[in-house]
A and B are shown apart, each in its own frame.
Chain A
Amino acid sequence: MPLLAVRDLTIALPVGGRMVTIIDSVSFTLGAREILGIVGESGSGKSMTALALMGLIDAPGARITGSARFKGRELVGLPQRAFRDLRGREIAMIFQDPMTAFTPVYTVGWQIDEQIRAHGRVTRKDARARTIRLLGDMGVPDPARVADRYPHQLSGGLRQRAMIAMALSCNPSLLIADEPTTALDVTVQAQILDLLRRLRREYGSSVLLITHDMGVVAETCDRTMVLYSGIIAERGPTGAVFARPGHPYTAALLDSIPPLHGARPARLPSIPGSPPAPADRPAGCPFTPRCAYAHDACAVRPPLLPRGVQDIACVLPAEGRDLPARCATV
């Protein structure tokens, strides 16, 4: 049994008097010790998916349907009281901005102690010892001293490490990381990505990594799921998705990243237009208006179908017109 099995998760929010679908029938599984990347542009629904799994969508009138089973337990429709028990202990989340995860008026160590004590009978002294050990594990230099500091006294990289320490304080089996490195400088980002890879090895955690950065996904995730406009465009093992993208959106997204090595293209291949607002999504494949391969068959929403090791929501594979493989540069 996978750790997490999401099936047809659909989220609709009331906008201007009618229900607008934000996430449409998203299904995926996450195994033990696996890192799954959810990648997409702003508005693709990647953060909404995470918030739904944490029971954190509190918009009035929101309608969440489908199923999300975590260790066999249904999360959709779970009462808040039960969620509170799960959050922090079983499922933890880290965010882009650690300043919002910590309250500014207590020391970082106090807040991690509190989290440990809220979920188990632990003395203050034992909690602090565990906090210091965790901070040390996260690569924080001089963890005892850092524990006595307030969030604003730490650098961005240290705050992010402290937040990951807090998230891991109760040994959650699932860690949801929403753009955990977006606000960091590249050299610090590289350290945090290294840390996430280590977590899986040393803590056995499964990680759901949400990001807009294809590079971050390539470096950390075992499997990748590409969201576009609230639907899964493509998913599969990361190596395969990057080497042989099956959905024109994945391919175009990869092409539009300027290369760091090799020849500089005279012009960057770009995707025309911008993603549709949730209320204005076209009836068929939502990528049609921006797709170089759009044709009549795209007027009907293509189902997510297996193609080799990937699953692709596009009519091209069925028509025998696979996209060309990308040559891996470096």
Chain B
Amino acid sequence: MTAPLIEAQSLRMEYRVGRGQVLRALDGVSLAVRPGEVLGLVGESGCGKSTLGRCLLRLARPTAGRVVFDGTDITALPERTLRPLRQGMQMVFQDSYASLNPRRRIGDLIAEPLRVHRDGQGRRRTAADIAARLAELMDLVGLPQAALARYPHEFSGGQRQRINIARALALSPRLVVADEPVSALDVSIQAQIVNLFMDLRDRLGLTYVFVAHDLAVVRQISTRVAVMYLGAIVELGDADTVLHRPAHPYTAALIAAVPEPVVLPDGDRAPPLRGDVPSPIAPPPGCRFHTRCPSAQDRCRTDPPALRDPGDGRQVACHFPLTGG
């Protein structure tokens, strides 16, 4: 088994939200992503998936626990020591417009990381090096060279996301964390960008952590999937195993709730999950999901289940995991 490229060990992230209350965005999350893997992080708003993505890149500093990137513990590294490592890990965000300074040309925006960081030999990159790299990047993400001289507002959402990907790839990172990178795009454009992510992984041997709420998109791109609920992982495993034969009732409910472009008779629809996600400031005791779980029993109300392997290589945090599926 190869060593993980990025690893989270018992991560906790707490925010003080006033009146002495604490919001626990991450409550003891552990996972490892190996080189070449695509880990899909799914869950509803407030489950902690974005916070986890940000902690992995040390854009947020976890309250407790460790983040290990390529064998180095980066949890508490000072910014100066962290900077050279940052070349190896990059991020793509949901809002393609907010991520780009509207007053700068695309060429400048993508060149910035190349100007800030030195090259492999510790030398500043020359203007010619940068120009050559920009040309390469445009080809890589499928944009015309002429785009370099234009401004962000001149592009459509899909093209802007290509620009953001080009910038993220400028320093040849090994790990890319993408936070909802296609959710603001129209479906026809979304498919183009999902394909681009998959092509780039194959061509450049990238490793992704792909944060998304859309299960179908996550299934398309991920090799493994982690399902989160209220700051904790409830199920983690091979994408096909988890999404085809979910063991956690929450995973099953999420899948059932996705409206599919197929017309079914009214009676064939599973009844929707009841209620809302409880507040992460005061999560329910026991299993966090018991307030909405169709198969909750007494034990679930008091005894929080730990992640364990039900016997097929995945991990599930449930006292009564579903079988068969």
Partners in one complex: yes
CA–CA, A290 to B272, complex, Å?
Answer: 37
- A246-298 residues with Cβ-Cβ distance < 8 A to B are 252-254, 256-261, 264-265, 267-272, 274-275, 290
The answer to whether the Cβ of A101 comes within 8 Å of any Cβ in the partner chain is no
Q: Contact at A187–B220, with CB atoms within 8 Å?
A: no
Q: Contact at B257–A190, with CB atoms within 8 Å?
A: yes
Q: Contact at B219–A264, with CB atoms within 8 Å?
A: yes
CA–CA, A330 to B216, complex, Å?
Answer: 13
Which of A215, A256, A258 is in CB contact (< 8 Å) with B188? Answer: A256
Which of B10-18, B262-270, B312-320 has 4 or more CB atoms under 8 Å from chain A? Answer: B262-270
We find that the number of chain B residues with CB closer than 8 angstroms to chain A is 45
The answer to whether the Cβ of B198 comes within 8 Å of any Cβ in the partner chain is yes
CA–CA, A149 to B74, complex, Å?
Answer: 44
How many A-B residue pairs have C-beta atoms within 8 angstroms? Tell me.
136
**Residues of chain B with a CB closer than 8 A to A189's CB:** 257, 259
**Residues of chain A with a CB closer than 8 A to B254's CB:** 186-187
Q: Contact at A268–B258, with CB atoms within 8 Å?
A: no
Q: Contact at A190–B276, with CB atoms within 8 Å?
A: no
**Residues of chain A with a CB closer than 8 A to B253's CB:** 187
Q: Contact at B259–A193, with CB atoms within 8 Å?
A: yes
The answer to whether the Cβ of A100 comes within 8 Å of any Cβ in the partner chain is no
**Given A186-B258, A242-B261, A330-B260, CB of A41 within 8 Å of CB of B220:** no
CA–CA, A178 to B229, complex, Å?
Answer: 29
Q: Contact at A215–B191, with CB atoms within 8 Å?
A: no
Tell me the smallest distance from the CB of B57 to a CB of chain A, in Å: 25
Q: Contact at B186–A212, with CB atoms within 8 Å?
A: yes
Tell me the smallest distance from the CB of B199 to a CB of chain A, in Å: 8
Q: Contact at A256–B190, with CB atoms within 8 Å?
A: yes
**Given A187-B257, A264-B220, A274-B158, CB of A242 within 8 Å of CB of B191:** no
**Given A186-B213, A258-B216, CB of A270 within 8 Å of CB of B261:** no
The answer to whether the Cβ of B200 comes within 8 Å of any Cβ in the partner chain is no
The answer to whether the Cβ of B44 comes within 8 Å of any Cβ in the partner chain is yes
Tell me the smallest distance from the CB of B290 to a CB of chain A, in Å: 15
Q: Contact at A270–B272, with CB atoms within 8 Å?
A: no
CA–CA, A239 to B190, complex, Å?
Answer: 24
The answer to whether the Cβ of B126 comes within 8 Å of any Cβ in the partner chain is no
CA–CA, A268 to B193, complex, Å?
Answer: 10
CA–CA, A189 to B45, complex, Å?
Answer: 13
Q: Contact at A218–B261, with CB atoms within 8 Å?
A: yes
The answer to whether the Cβ of B72 comes within 8 Å of any Cβ in the partner chain is no
The answer to whether the Cβ of B101 comes within 8 Å of any Cβ in the partner chain is no
CA–CA, A98 to B264, complex, Å?
Answer: 29
Which of B195, B257, B277 is in CB contact (< 8 Å) with A268? Answer: B195
**Given A219-B269, A253-B188, A260-B216, CB of A185 within 8 Å of CB of B44:** yes
The answer to whether the Cβ of B273 comes within 8 Å of any Cβ in the partner chain is yes
The answer to whether the Cβ of A19 comes within 8 Å of any Cβ in the partner chain is no
Tell me the smallest distance from the CB of B203 to a CB of chain A, in Å: 14
**Given A41-B186, A253-B188, A328-B262, CB of A267 within 8 Å of CB of B195:** yes
Which of B244, B261, B271 is in CB contact (< 8 Å) with A215? Answer: B261
**Given A186-B257, A187-B44, A257-B261, CB of A41 within 8 Å of CB of B273:** no
The answer to whether the Cβ of A214 comes within 8 Å of any Cβ in the partner chain is yes
**Given A157-B276, A185-B277, A264-B219, CB of A270 within 8 Å of CB of B260:** no
Residue of A nearest to B278 (CB): A155
Q: Contact at A257–B263, with CB atoms within 8 Å?
A: no
The answer to whether the Cβ of A194 comes within 8 Å of any Cβ in the partner chain is yes
Per-position 1/0 for A311-330, Cβ under 8 A of B: 00000000000000000111
Q: Contact at A215–B259, with CB atoms within 8 Å?
A: yes
Residue of A nearest to B45 (CB): A185
The answer to whether the Cβ of A69 comes within 8 Å of any Cβ in the partner chain is no
**Residues of chain B with a CB closer than 8 A to A215's CB:** 258-261
The answer to whether the Cβ of A7 comes within 8 Å of any Cβ in the partner chain is no
**Residues of chain B with a CB closer than 8 A to A268's CB:** 191, 194-195, 220
The answer to whether the Cβ of A10 comes within 8 Å of any Cβ in the partner chain is no
Q: Contact at A329–B262, with CB atoms within 8 Å?
A: yes
Q: Contact at B187–A187, with CB atoms within 8 Å?
A: no
Q: Which 4 A-B pairs have the closest CB atoms?
A: A215-B259, A270-B191, A190-B272, A271-B188
19 pairs, CB–CB < 8 Å, chain A vs chain B: A158-B276, A185-B45, A186-B44, A186-B213, A186-B215, A186-B254, A187-B44, A189-B259, A191-B274, A194-B272, A261-B260, A264-B220, A269-B191, A270-B189, A270-B191, A271-B192, A272-B192, A274-B156, A274-B159
B: residues with CB less than 8 A from A are 44-45, 156, 158-159, 186-192, 194-195, 198, 213, 215-217, 219-220, 243-244, 253-264, 266, 269, 271-277, 292
Known contacts A186-B44, A191-B274, A257-B187, then 14 further A-B pairs from the complex at CB < 8 Å, ordered by chain A residue? A190-B259, A219-B260, A219-B269, A242-B261, A253-B187, A257-B216, A258-B217, A260-B219, A260-B255, A260-B258, A264-B219, A270-B189, A270-B192, A275-B186
